[in-house]
């Protein structure tokens, strides 16, 4: 039997002739000792040939955690990972390699469903939202939108439409849009209002073309069909007036336009 001292913890080691090269009492001591300058690869780099061989040898290999449940990370481990990644950015080459590796890879329906469920009800903290806002400030100024020219798939549009129906819609006011219009509100009355306003939208001043302009009820009462309560608006401007949280401002704004008064809330036109 031989005696030696562990390089990390200083405990005495006992071993036979076959283990003369032993320097640590266990794997944990070796792991903790071989950090920084003590690491065998410190200051050295793998050759291209060596990296290629390692890459080829790991292709198609079975990972240790496959078909096993990975234990949940502790808060200490999460903080360590978070701190180690702070301020670090992936190089363009690294990002390109990741995108190439993901090309053609489709997630299973079960995986997509589990991701969806894990995010349900989750909300960003105010601090996180503020950080995101600051990080995006001035980035796209003067540049075209990244979504320009791109269209969402029909199924996705359908799902958005279904999710915003009825009470889920932010502009829901207890089903007021299903209320019936008064008998007087017919095509003849609409034509009279458009003729009075010279077939021009009273907000953006766009002339009527193929599509006829809408006739809007200023006080949002569908049965009040007096001339002083009706105004000509294009489809785009008419859609803006549906925002429920600023309806009082729209009523004042439209009345001021009809009465040719000085309009103070010009920012409403920019919504």
Write down the pLDDT at residue 267.
Answer: 42
Confidence band of 266 (pLDDT split at 50, 70, 90): very low
DSSP sequence for 112-145: HHHHHHHHTT----HHHHHHHHHHHTTTSTTS--
Write down the pLDDT at residue 261.
Answer: 61
Angle at 70 between CA 65 and CA 72, to 5 degrees: 160
Listed in sequence order, the DSSP H helices in the chain are 27-33, 48-58, 75-85, 92-102, 109-119, 126-136, 154-163, 187-196, 235-240, 247-258
**Tens of pLDDT, residues 169-219:** 777 777 666 667 778 888 888 999 889 888 998 888 888 888 889 899 888
Give the residue-averaged pLDDT of 38-63.
81
How many angstroms separate the CA atoms of 22 and 28, rounded? Answer: 14
95-102: long-range contacts, CB 8 A cutoff, minimum separation 24:
none
Percent of the chain with pLDDT over 70: 86
Angstrom distances, CA of residue 162 to CA of 46, 117, 123, 158, 166:
55, 18, 22, 6, 9
How many angstroms separate the CA atoms of 255 and 238, rounded? Answer: 15
Confidence band of 264 (pLDDT split at 50, 70, 90): very low
Structure tokens at 229: 């309560």
Structure tokens at 224: 């009040």
Write down the pLDDT at residue 248.
Answer: 83
Write down the pLDDT at residue 39.
Answer: 84
First to last CA, the chain: 85
**Cα–chain-centroid distance for residue 3?**
61
DSSP sequence for 78-125: HHHHHHHHTT----HHHHHHHHHHHTT----HHHHHHHHHHHTT----
- pTM for this prediction: 0.41
**Tens of pLDDT, residues 122-177:** 888 888 888 888 888 877 777 777 777 888 888 988 988 888 887 787 777 776 66
On whether the CB atoms of residues 222 and 173 are closer than 8 A, the answer is no
**Tens of pLDDT, residues 109-124:** 888 888 888 888 788 8
């Amino acid at each position: 039997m031989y005696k030696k001292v562990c390089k990390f913890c200083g405990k005495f080691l006992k071993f036979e002739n076959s283990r003369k090269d032993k320097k640590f009492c266990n794997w944990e001591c070796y792991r903790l000792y071989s950090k920084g300058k003590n690491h065998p690869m410190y200051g050295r780099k793998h050759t291209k040939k060596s990296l290629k061989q390692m890459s080829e040898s790991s292709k198609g290999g079975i990972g240790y955690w496959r078909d096993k449940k990975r234990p949940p990370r502790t808060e200490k481990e999460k903080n360590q990972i978070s701190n180690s990644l702070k301020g670090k950015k992936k190089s363009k080459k690294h990002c390109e390699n990741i995108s190439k590796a993901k090309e053609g890879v489709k997630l299973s329906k079960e995986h997509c469903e589990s991701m969806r469920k894990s995010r349900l009800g989750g909300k960003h903290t105010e601090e996180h939202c503020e950080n995101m806002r600051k990080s995006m400030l001035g980035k796209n100024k003067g540049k075209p939108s990244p979504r320009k020219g791109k269209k969402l798939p029909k199924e996705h549009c359908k799902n958005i439409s279904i999710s915003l129906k009825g009470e889920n819609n932010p502009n829901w006011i207890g089903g007021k849009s299903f209320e019936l219009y008064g008998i007087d509100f017919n095509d003849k009355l609409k034509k009279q209002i458009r003729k009075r306003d010279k077939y021009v939208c009273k907000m953006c001043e766009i002339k009527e073309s193929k599509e006829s302009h809408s006739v809007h009820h200023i006080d949002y009462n569908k049965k009040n069909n007096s001339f002083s309560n009706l105004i000509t608006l294009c489809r785009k401007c008419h859609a803006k007036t549906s925002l429920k949280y600023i309806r009082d401002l729209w009523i004042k704004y439209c009345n001021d336009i009809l009465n040719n008064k000085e309009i103070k809330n010009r920012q409403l036109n920019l919504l």
